[in-house]
Amino acid sequence: MPEYKRRSFLAKSCAATGIAVGLAGCMGDSGGSQVQLGAINPLSGSAAFFGELATEAQSAWVENVNGNGGLEIGGETREINIVEYDDESSNDQARSAAQRLTTSDNVSMILSSWRSNGAIAINEIINNNQIPTFTHGFTPQVNTDGTYMMRLTVSTVMDAYPALQFVSDSDDIEKIGVIAEEGDWGDDTLDLMEWWFNEADNAGDYENLGRFSFSQQDFSSYITKARNSDIDALYVQTWASAMQRFIEQQDSAGLNDDMPILTGLGGADYNSLGEVGGSMSNVYALGVYTRLSYADDDQIAETISDEALSQFEDYQSIENAPDHPTAYNVYADAQAAEYALTEAGSTNGEDLREALVGNEITTILGNATINDRGQPSIPGALIKFDGSSGDAEIDTVAWDGQLPPITSIPPETDL
C-alpha cells in the first residue's frame, strides 16, 4: 500500500507542499491553542482535479479565519490547523486516512470526504469515533438517523426534485422519459419517479427508457428511443463527463429541438460549461453551488440571499481563492464547521454534531439546515440554459426555492 500523504496547513501563505510538514512557526499572535481538523482529498488519481480545488478552498478558509485572529471557542481564541491526507481516489486509502485522523491525529471534525464510495468506506469509522464529517458524495446510503456524516452537497434523491416540481406545474409536459445510470444512484432516481407520480399522485407520468454505465460513450440508442417515445421531456440522471457526453450528442442529434432536457446537479457541474456551450440550449439543470458562477445574472442573484452574496464577495476577495463551483461548496462546508465550533463552544464531536443538526447555518450558498440524517435543506434553482450564442447562458430560472432533505423513498420529510 502506498505511503500516507499528509499535509498540514494553518493559512494559505504557510500551506505545506511536501509530506508531513509541521507549521508551528506559522502560528499567529492569538495565543490560543490550535483546533485540529482533518481533510481527506483526492490529490492524485481520477478525482485529483476536485481534490486540489478542495485543498485550495480549505486553505482560503483557514487564511480568512486565522487572518482575522482565529475562532472564539468556549471563551478561548484558537487558530485552525488542517491535517490533510491524499486518498488517491481510493476507498482503501480513504479508510486508512479516516483511521489516522480519528485516532492518531485526534481531529475534531473532517472537512471533506470525496466520492460516494469514499463516504461509504469511511462511514463506520467516523460514526464509531463520533467525528462530524462533510461528504461531497451524492449517495444517500450514509444518511441514517444519528449519523456523523453531514453534507451540504445534495444527494441523488434530491437531484430530481426541482425537475419533478417543474413537470408537475407545467401545462406543456405531461410525461417525461427517464434514462439513469446503472447501480444505486439510478435505482434511487427511478424509485423517486415511481413514488412522485404514482404514490404521491403528482400531475404527470414517467417512462423508464433504459439504464447505462457511467463509462457509456455512445448515447445514440437512448436519443433515438427518446425521440420515438410518447414523452414531452427527457430526464437524465448522471453527472460530470458522462453528462457532458450525453449533452453534446443529444445536441448534435437535435433532441433538444424536440423536447426539454432535464438534469440533476450534474447538468451544471462540468469542469467547464464552456466545453459544451451551445449544446446547453433547452437544457434545464439544477444549480446549488453552481448558481454562484452566474451570480452576476439578475435572475440568479434573486435566488441567492443578500447575506450569502455578501459572503461570496468576501470569498472572492481572498487571494487565490479558487473560482470554481466545487470550491464554493467546499468553502461552505468549512463555514458550517466554523459555525459548529463557535456555536458549541467546544471541540467535542458530540457537541459539534448537536450544533450542526437542526440549526440554520448561513454560508456562501445561502441558508442551510442539516437534519438528523445529515442531509441538508438548501437553496437551489432549476436553470434553463440557452446556447444560441455559442456559450452556455441563463435563459430563465424555471424553479427556485429550498431543496427538501430527501433521504429515502418515500421521503420522511413533508414535500
Would you give per-residue pLDDT tens digits along the chain (415 residues)?
A: 333 344 444 433 333 322 232 223 233 333 358 999 999 999 999 889 889 999 999 999 999 999 999 999 999 999 999 999 999 999 999 999 999 999 999 999 999 999 889 999 999 999 999 999 999 988 888 999 999 999 999 888 898 999 999 999 999 999 999 999 999 889 999 999 999 999 999 999 999 999 999 999 999 999 999 999 999 999 999 988 888 899 999 999 999 999 999 998 654 555 456 678 889 999 999 999 889 988 999 999 999 999 999 999 999 999 889 998 889 999 999 999 999 999 999 999 999 999 999 999 999 999 999 999 999 999 999 999 998 888 888 999 999 999 999 888 888 777 7
pLDDT in the model for residue 156: 84
pLDDT in the model for residue 14: 36
Q: Which residues pair with 8 in a beta bridge?
A: 83
Q: Cell numbers at residue 256, please?
A: 433538444
DSSP code of residue 276: T
Each residue of 154-174: b (16+ CB within 10 Å) or e?
A: bbbbbbbbbbbbbbeebeebe
For the entire predicted model, the pTM comes to 0.89
d(CA 106, CA 36): 7
CATH 1.10.940.10 holds for 157-300+379-403: no
| Strands 110-113 and 76-86, bridge-based pairing | unpaired
Identity (one letter) of the amino acid at 210?
A: G
What are 315-323's contacts with CB under 8 Å, separation 24+?
315/60, 315/364, 318/60, 318/63, 318/64, 319/12, 319/63, 320/12, 320/56, 320/60, 321/56, 321/57, 321/60, 322/53, 322/56, 322/57, 322/60
Q: Cell numbers at residue 308, please?
A: 450569502
| Strands 366-370 and 376-386, bridge-based pairing | antiparallel
pLDDT in the model for residue 25: 29
- Same fold flag, 6-154+306-376 and 157-300+379-403: yes
d(CA 403, CA 367): 11
Name the residue among 313, 325, 321, 179 with its Cα closest to residue 246: 179
d(CA 85, CA 360): 30
Q: Where are the domains of the chain?
A: 6-154+306-376, 157-300+379-403
Q: Is 340 helix (H, G, I), strand (E, B) or coil?
A: helix
d(CA 25, CA 3): 26
Identity (one letter) of the amino acid at 57?
A: A
pLDDT in the model for residue 408: 84
pLDDT in the model for residue 270: 52
Determine the CATH number of domain 6-154+306-376. 3.40.50.2300
